Structure 1
C-alpha cells in the first residue's frame, strides 16, 4: 500500500504562503516529484489557486476551515486526489486564520481513513508583522501566530528584507523561545537554498510534529487558559450559521467578498487599498484593467500592496476579497463603488 506524505503549510494571512507554495511546486517539478495541492480559504473564493500551474492536481476547500466547518471533507478530498492523480506528495495550504493545532487534529483523523503520513508542518512568518505583535504580546492574532510557530517543524522567517539586522535577531530569539525544536530559515520572497528545499521534500517529521501538538495543548492547560478562550465567538461567518453549537478559533475574523462587474482603474484601486481601515489585514482579488484590458491580480498584506498581470485559465470572475476584524463592510464597499462607478 502506497502511503502518501503530507506537507501542511501554515502561516498568518499575507505571510507569503502562496509564494512558498509556488516555489516548492517548482522544486518538486525539478526533482521529478509529482505533487498535488489542497487549498483552503475561509471565504468563498480561491484566488491564490490561479497561481498554481494548470497541470498540477488541485482541490479547493472554500467557505470554511478544514479544521472546523468543512473538516469532514478533507479525508474525501485526499482520497479523490490519491485515486485520480496518484501523487507522490500532497501539499495542504491552510487558510491563514486557521489554528494549526486543529488542522493537525483533522489531518490525523483523515489518516485513519486514507493512507497518508504527515511529513512536515511548515509555518511562514511575516517578519515585520510578527515583530510588531510580539512587542505588545496580546490579542487573538498574536495568540494564533504563536501557535502557528510552536507547532511547526520548519519555520520560514519571510520578508526579512523589511526589517533591520537587529530586529531580525530579536524575531529569531522570540521564535526560538516559542519553538526551540524547529529549524528557522530566513528568506525574502520565500527564496531559499536548494539544500533546504531538498530537506523539506525528503524529511520524515510526523512524530516531532505530533509531539509539539501535544506539548502546545499541555502548555495551554498549564497556563490556566480556559479551553473556550481559544474558541471565542465574537463574529459568526455566514457559512457557520448551521454550526451554532461549534465555535472555533477564527470566529472573530470577518470576510467580505465583492464581485466586480466593470473594468476599473488600477491606480484608483491602489489608492483605496492604501487607505483601508486598520481592521483589514488581508485583501486580494482580480480585476480587469480599464486602461489595458488585462486581467490583474492584486494582493494587500500588512499595509503593503502589489498588482501583477495574470492569464487565468477558463472563466474567472473579477472579485475583491477582504479579511480582517471589526471593520465596516458598508464603508469599504462604498469606496469600491466610487471607483467602479465614479460620479
Structure 2
C-alpha cells in the first residue's frame, strides 16, 4: 500500500512550500513521492514547483471534491497504473473542504491500494488574527480546514508578536483540540512530523462547496513589461477580497519575467531564467473591476 497525505489550507497559506519541502525530505530518505495537485483556475502555476522526475497529475478549473471527484479518481488511477512511487502527496485548492476531498482517495477503484495517513492543514497565522474580516462563507471554509486537520502548521509565525503567537495557538487548539499544532515559518517541518500521523475520526462537515463561496479566478495578461514600483502600487489598491495572486510578471529591463506570489498584502518576487507566459492569476471574491494598470 502507498501512504497518502492530503495538504489543505486557505489560499496563500503555504501549501506549495510545504509540498516542496516534503518532496525533498522524502527523496533524501529514499522514498519516491508522487503529486496530485488541484487548482481553482485554468492554469496551475504551482506545478512548476514540483521537481523533475516526480510523477505529477493535475485537475484544473475545478475542485478535487464534489463535481471534480470523477476526474480526480481518473488521475489518481492513472498514477497508480503508470508510475512507480511510494507516497502520494495531494495538494488541494485553497477553496476545497479537506474532508470532501477525501472522496477521491477512498474510491472503490483503488482504495485498497492507498493508506491514508492524514490531513495536514497549513494555517496562515496572520489571516487567523483577521479572520473576522473575511466574508462569512470564506471564514467558514477557513475554520473548517483547520477543524478537520490531523496536523496543523500555524504558519507565518514570524509576522506576529510573541503575545499574538500565543493567542493564535490557544484559539486554534480550542477549535481543534485533537490535532497536533506546530508553529512554523515557511511551512518548515521535519518529515517525521507527518510520517507519525494517525488519522482521527472526522467531525460533522459544514458544507461549503466552491460554487457557493463566490470565489473566482481571473487571468490577467501583460501586453508589455511593467515597472516593479508601479506594479506594487497597483497591488496596494486591490480590495481585501483579493486573496491570492500568482504568475509571471515581465519587468522593464529584465530579459525574463519574474515568478510572482502575492497573499495577504505581501508580495514575493523570484527571478526566472527562461521564457514564461506573461500573465498572472488573481483569486478572490468580486473580481469584476480588477484589471492591470
Q: TM-score range by the shorter chain?
A: over 0.9
Indicate the SS of the match to 1:216.
coil
Picking from 178, 182, 190, the partner of 1:181 is: 178
After superposition, give the CA deviation of every residue in 1:136-165 in whole Å (9 maximum; x if it has no partner).
697112211111111111000000011111
After TM superposition, list the pairs within 5 Å mapping 1:296-307 onto structure 2. Answer: 296-307=258-269
Match of 1:60 in 2: 58
Picking from 154, 157, 161, the partner of 2:158 is: 161
After superposition, give the CA deviation of every residue in 1:280-316 in whole Å (9 maximum; x if it has no partner).
111111123331112211111111111111346xx74
Q: Take 1:47 and 1:137, find their aligned partners in 2: how far apart are those partners?
A: 25
After TM superposition, list the pairs within 5 Å mapping 1:80-99 onto structure 2. Answer: 80-99=78-97
Q: Take 1:115 and 1:199, find their aligned partners in 2: how far apart are those partners?
A: 23
| Deviation, structure 1 residue 198 | 1.7
Q: Take 1:257 and 1:84, find their aligned partners in 2: how far apart are those partners?
A: 32
| Deviation, structure 1 residue 68 | 2.3
Q: Take 2:128 and 2:227, find their aligned partners in 1: how far apart are those partners?
A: 33
Mean Cα deviation higher: 261-270 or 25-34: 261-270
- Alignment of 1:332 onto 2:271: no
Match of 1:199 in 2: 193
Q: Take 1:280 and 1:138, find their aligned partners in 2: how far apart are those partners?
A: 12
Q: What's the TM-score, normalizing by structure 1?
A: 0.79
Mean Cα deviation higher: 10-19 or 272-281: 272-281
Picking from 218, 232, 242, the partner of 1:270 is: 232
Contact 1:36 1:57 (8 Å CA) reproduced:
yes
Match of 1:238 in 2: none
After superposition, give the CA deviation of every residue in 1:253-298 in whole Å (9 maximum; x if it has no partner).
1211123343333332222122212221111111233311122111
Q: Could you say what the CA RMSD is over the residues aligned between the two structures, in angstroms?
A: 2.1
Change (3 A) 1:162 1:106: same
Match of 1:225 in 2: none
After superposition, give the CA deviation of every residue in 1:7-53 in whole Å (9 maximum; x if it has no partner).
10000001111111111111111111100111110100101111221
Contact 1:279 1:324 (8 Å CA) reproduced:
yes
Match of 1:30 in 2: 28
Match of 1:48 in 2: 46
Give the number of the structure whose residues are more often helix, by fraction: 1
Contact 1:158 1:188 (8 Å CA) reproduced:
yes
- Alignment of 1:281 onto 2:239: no
Change (3 A) 1:150 1:111: farther
Q: Take 2:182 and 2:32, find their aligned partners in 1: how far apart are those partners?
A: 24
Stretches of structure 2 lacking an aligned partner (at least 5 in a row): none
Change (3 A) 1:111 1:139: farther
Q: Take 2:7 and 2:109, find their aligned partners in 1: how far apart are those partners?
A: 17
Mean Cα deviation higher: 109-118 or 14-23: 109-118
Contact 1:111 1:117 (8 Å CA) reproduced:
no
Q: Take 2:212 and 2:33, find their aligned partners in 1: how far apart are those partners?
A: 29
Picking from 293, 299, 321, the partner of 2:281 is: 321
After superposition, give the CA deviation of every residue in 1:187-232 in whole Å (9 maximum; x if it has no partner).
111123x4xx2231x33534x1xx12xx233xx5xxxxxxxxx35x
Match of 1:216 in 2: 204
Q: Take 1:310 and 1:321, find their aligned partners in 2: how far apart are those partners?
A: 17
| Deviation, structure 1 residue 74 | 1.4
